[in-house]
Structure 1
Amino acid sequence: MGRLADGLDRINHWTGMTVRWFALAMVLLQFAVVLLRYVFGFSLIALNESVLYLHAGLFMLGAGYTLLVDRHVRVDIFYAAARDTTKARIDAFGYVVLAIPSMAALLYWSWPSVVNSVAMMEGAISVGGIPAVWLLKSLIPAFCILLIIQSVACLLRQIITLRGQAS
């Protein structure tokens, strides 16, 4: 189980290491947008939208990595003081009852919209923008799949923890 969890972790680790560069690209592009607009009086809608696309990619594709490194939002009023077995039970419950089913539902319900968008190569948000709304919409299933993969990896680790405590 540990090796399977490690393999699943590698998927989100690689994804996180790749999309982290989106943050730098966003800063540089936004700087270029501001420089072009306020210094040269020139603006491109596609350049503005590229910041939006990078932002969406960073957050949607980076969510699994965030779960991997345990930096997601958690209300830990009781969790912080709990024992490791209690934490493992809470986390396992969260993955089985909340995370995996909600991501599966989002994947199921968004899939027709994404397929339609890709099939018709849905165009730009604004006139003169990037003609790839289909690309933005395809981030939704990628987000779901990456979070399901990481939730399964984390669940396996919680099972290992609980089995180790039980023996």
Structure 2
Amino acid sequence: MVNLLKGICGVIDRSNEVVGRGVSWITLLLVAVVFVDVVMRYLFKTSFVFTQELEWHLFAFIFLIGAGYTLLHDGHVRVDIIYQRLGVKGRAWINLIGVIVFLIPGCYLVISTSWKFVGNSFSMLEGSPDPGGIPYRFIVKGTMTVGYVLLLLQGISMGMHALLQILGVETVDEENA
């Protein structure tokens, strides 16, 4: 059973690692798009709706699809006043309870409510209502559901790692290896 849990965690962790590394390249693209937009605005006194929309589409993609990767690397904001003073098992308990009480229900809520919203957007191939805007708005809306599924999976992995730590089967070094 322990090996099964470790195997599932490994698959989820590796998947989010690959996704996160891919998202990092989108971040580079976002920097380039913002640079071009700023140059166009300040040097040439012009701006394009497409470029401005592309900025927020890329940002949304990075934020949503990269959330699982951020959780994998413990990059989400948390109040560390108590957490940092606890030992491995104390931190594992907080992680396990946090996953069960907050992360899983929160992800479920977003996934279940966004499903129809995203489906409607895809069914009509929704685009920008602005002239010159991005015609494929439905794609960025789809990242909402996908991103929260990746975050949910990483939360499940985090909860399983925490359970294994509580049981004394896994150490913090094993999890980060």
Gaps of 5+ in 1: none
Instruction: Write the letter of the residue equivalent to 1:93.
Output: I
TM-score (norm 2): 0.88
Alpha carbons of 1:120 and 1:29: their partners in 2 closer, same or farther (altered >3 Å)?
Answer: same
Show the counterpart of 2:22.
Answer: 18
Looking at structure 1, the residues matched to 129 and 164 of structure 2 have their Cα atoms a distance apart, in angstroms, of 46
In the alignment, does 2:146 pair up with 1:142?
Answer: yes
2:70 to 66, 71, 77: 66
Q: For residue 78 of structure 1, give the secondary structure of its aligned residue in structure 2.
A: helix
Instruction: Write the letter of the residue equivalent to 1:113.
Output: F
Instruction: Write the letter of the residue equivalent to 1:96.
Output: I
Gaps of 5+ in 2: 170-177
Q: For residue 39 of structure 1, give the secondary structure of its aligned residue in structure 2.
A: helix
Show the counterpart of 1:32.
Answer: 36
Is the 1:92–1:159 Cα contact (8 Å) retained in structure 2?
yes
TM-score (norm 1): 0.93
Alignment RMSD (CA, Å): 1.3
Is the 1:33–1:43 Cα contact (8 Å) retained in structure 2?
yes
| CA drift at 1:125 | 4.4
In the alignment, does 2:119 pair up with 1:93?
Answer: no
In the alignment, does 2:57 pair up with 1:53?
Answer: yes
Is the 1:122–1:132 Cα contact (8 Å) retained in structure 2?
yes
Count residues with an aligned counterpart: 165
Show the counterpart of 1:131.
Answer: 135
| CA drift at 1:38 | 2.4
Is the 1:125–1:133 Cα contact (8 Å) retained in structure 2?
no
